[in-house]
Amino acid sequence: MKNRNEFSRIISGTMNWGKWGKELSAREMDGLMHQCLELGITTFDHADIYGGYSIEGAFGKAFTGSNIKREQVQFITKCGIQYVCESRDNKVKHYNYGKDYIIWSAERSLKELKTEYLDLFLLHRPSPLMHPQEVAAALGELMESGKVRSFGVSNFTPSQIALIEKEIPVSANQVEFSLTAHSVMFDGTLDDVLLKDRLLMSWSPLGSYFREKNEQRKRIKKVLKSLKKKYKASTSQLLLAWILRHPAKTYPVVGTTNPDRLKESVQAVDLHMELEDWFSLLTASQGHKVP
């Protein structure tokens, strides 16, 4: 496993950089990469499907012109989802974890990102048809050749990880984890991270708070009102501080392209939330006191 300390604690998620979001130009991507580095954000999270299989290529082109040294940054990407879009002849969304496809996908990502190696390569979502020996055979070749330095999964349960780990060690799991989506704390996923010393990454770390206006949000907002004054922090910082408080030591994948919000995210790492404040927010999210 690549030393987790080599990844920045706040990870920049690239899903919204292109067609699925801000549609940044190469020049804008270049500028955003430099702004991330200035803030200490050195890790960039990708997936082959982002932007309909287009973001890796756009990012790689911008990175090539950025004059940023490869050893200054870490690239994470994912494979496996067969997405229905113009660039793929897929009739239905499905998953492919055959040996040949995994190797092909990793090599395509290397080409698109304009790099000789991936710091971390993830299986994007579990498939009912995945076979541990197929996965192990593919990753064994990729890691032996130096094309992939660490291997992990995304959105896997502990039993699904155990299936893969029957043949090959799994060093990381990227899951949905936030104040409004915290089932991973109670279904064994975060226990598995701690037990096996895996790298934990959280996608959508702010949850649905800014997207949905419902009773859960009203309850959380009421608690946050006093905590914002107490900690002199923004709502986003407190939402991040809540997941950062968990002993599994999550690495949030932050999707914003706004430099000010990125700076806020980095500052949240140093915000230590007190125990009862943490449980006050959990209670607000769940709508009832803990058992």
Contacts 24+ apart (CB under 8 A), 137-140: 137/99, 138/99, 138/100, 138/102, 138/103, 138/106, 139/102, 139/168, 140/168
Q: Is residue 89 domain-resident?
A: yes
Assigned domain for 86 exists = yes
Phi/psi for 127 (5° steps) reads -115, 140
Under 8 Å between Cβ of 242 and 179: yes
Residue 118 falls inside a structural domain: yes
The residue among 98, 71, 47 whose CA lies nearest residue 59 is 47
Query: What is the total count of domains within the chain?
Result: 1
The parent domain of residue 45 ranges over 4-211+248-272
The per-residue pLDDT for 100 is 98
| Domain harbouring 153, CATH code | 3.20.20.100
Within-domain flag for 226 = no
Q: Is residue 281 part of a domain?
A: no
Pick the catalytic residue: 50, 97, 209, 251? Answer: 50
50 among known catalytic residues: yes
Contacts of 179 (CB under 8 A, 6+ apart): 207, 209, 220, 239, 242, 243, 281, 282, 285
Residue 289 falls within a domain, yes or no? no
Q: Single out the residue of 83, 77, 79 nearest to residue 113, CA to CA.
A: 77
pLDDT of residue 5: 75
- For residue 86, the model assigns a pLDDT of 87
Contact 171, 152 (CB under 8 A): yes
Flag whether 87 is in a domain. Answer: yes
Distances in Å between the Cα of 189 and the Cα atoms of 130, 185, 206 are: 19, 7, 19
pTM for this one?
A: 0.97
Q: How far, in Å, CA of 260 to CA of 29, rounded?
A: 16
148 lies in some domain: yes
| Residuewise pLDDT in 10s, the chain (291 residues) | 456 779 999 999 999 999 999 999 999 999 999 999 999 999 999 999 999 999 999 999 999 999 999 999 999 999 999 999 988 999 999 999 999 999 999 999 999 999 999 999 999 999 999 999 999 999 999 999 999 999 999 999 999 999 999 999 999 999 999 999 999 999 999 999 999 999 999 999 999 999 999 999 999 999 999 999 999 999 999 999 999 999 999 999 999 999 999 999 999 999 999 999 999 999 999 999 999
